[in-house]
Amino acid sequence: MGRKWNNIKDKKAAKDANTSRIYAKFGREIYVAAKQGEPDPEANQTLRFVLERAKTYNVPRHIIDKAIEKAKGGTDENYDELRYEGFGPNGSMVIVDALTNNVNRTASEVRAAFGKNGGNMGVSGSVSYMFDKTAVIGIEGKTADEVLELLMEADIDVRDILEEEDAVIVYAEPDQFHVVQEAFKTAGVTEFTVAELTMLAQNDVTLPDDAGAQFEKMIDALEDLEDVQQVYHNVDLGE
C-alpha cells in the first residue's frame, strides 16, 4: 500500500508539536462533532470517532473538555464541512478536507496553496473516484497472524492486515471502524497507535526528486492552513 501509517502520524505530530496546530484542529473538529449531535461520545458515534483519533495524537484532556463544553454552551459558531480536490506536480492527486466559518477565505487559501506550488484545483469528483474511504487501525504487542485469528474469531472480515515496523495495521471498511476496535478491546487492547478514517489512494505514485520536493512543499502549505483538517494524496513520499 506504500504507506507507513505510524511514521506518517509521527511526522505530522512532530511537525505540529511546536505550534500546537494539531490541538487547534482537533478542538475545532471535536466542537463540530459535539454540536451536531449529543455531546456524549457514547451517544454520538462521530464524536466518539474523533476522540479516538485525538487519543492517538495525545491531545490533552483540557483541549477536549473545552471543545465539548463550548458545544454544550450553545455557542453560535457554525462551520461548513468542505472538500477540495486537485492535482500536484506530474499529475499527482490531492484531496483536502476543511472546516470553515468563511467559505470564500478557505477556497482562496487552498487555491493559492495549490497554485504557488505547481498544482491546481480541480472540480468536485475529479480526484476522489481514485480513492477509497478506509478505516485504518493500528496496535502493538501482537503479530499479524494473531490479529487475523482474533478478527476471524469475532467473525470480522477486513481488507488487509500488515505488519509495519513494531505495529500491526488493519485496513477495513469504514463502517467496521468501531467493530474492529471493540474486538481489540475485548481481547485486552487498550491503546491504538493509529485510529483513522482516511481516503486511501487506489494506486500510489512515486515522483522524481525535484517534483517530490515540490509536492511535499505543497502538502505542507495545505496542512498549515488553519481551516484544513485533513490532506490525502496518492504520492509515496517514502516515510
Alpha helices in 93-143 (DSSP H): 103-115
* Same domain? 53 vs 95: no
* Same domain? 84 vs 168: no
**What pLDDT, on the 0 to 100 scale, is given for residue 40?**
87
pLDDT tier at 190, thresholds 50, 70, 90: confident
Percent over 70 (pLDDT), the chain: 91
Is residue 239 domain-resident? Answer: no
211 pLDDT above the threshold of 80: yes
* Same domain? 209 vs 104: yes
- The stretch 191-216 carries a mean pLDDT of 91
Domain of 87, CATH number, reads 3.30.70.980
7 pLDDT above the threshold of 70: no
Q: For residue 200, what are the β-bridge partners?
A: 132
Strands ordered across the beta sheet of 120-121:
120-121, 80-87, 93-100, 228-233
Domain of 24, CATH number, reads 1.10.10.200
More confident residue, 223 or 21: 223
Per-residue pLDDT of 151-178, as tens digits, reads: 999 999 999 999 887 889 999 999 999 9
Per-residue pLDDT of 40-92, as tens digits, reads: 888 998 999 999 989 888 889 999 999 999 988 877 788 999 999 999 988 89
**What pLDDT, on the 0 to 100 scale, is given for residue 73?**
83
Least confident of 7-16, 95-104, 225-234: 7-16
Domain boundary among 72, 93, 118: 72
The vertex-54 CA angle with 67 and 97, nearest 5°, equals 85
- If residue 14 lies in a helix (H) or strand (E), which one and from where to where? helix 5-17
* Same domain? 115 vs 207: yes
* Same domain? 22 vs 140: no
Is residue 60 domain-resident? Answer: yes
Is residue 23 domain-resident? Answer: yes
Is residue 238 domain-resident? Answer: no
Is residue 207 domain-resident? Answer: yes
Domain range for 68 is 5-72
Per-residue pLDDT of 12-45, as tens digits, reads: 555 555 557 888 999 999 999 999 888 888 899 8
Per-residue pLDDT of 126-138, as tens digits, reads: 999 999 999 999 9
**What pLDDT, on the 0 to 100 scale, is given for residue 37?**
83
CA 104 distance to own-chain centroid: 24
Domain count, the chain: 3
**What pLDDT, on the 0 to 100 scale, is given for residue 130?**
96
Is residue 135 domain-resident? Answer: yes
Supply the mean pLDDT for the chain.
Answer: 88
* Same domain? 108 vs 170: no
* Same domain? 190 vs 213: no
* Same domain? 115 vs 137: no
* Same domain? 158 vs 169: yes
**What pLDDT, on the 0 to 100 scale, is given for residue 67?**
92
* Same domain? 98 vs 210: yes
Is residue 151 within 8 A of residue 187, CB to CB? The reply is no
* Same domain? 160 vs 207: no
* Same domain? 194 vs 89: no
Percent over 90 (pLDDT), the chain: 66
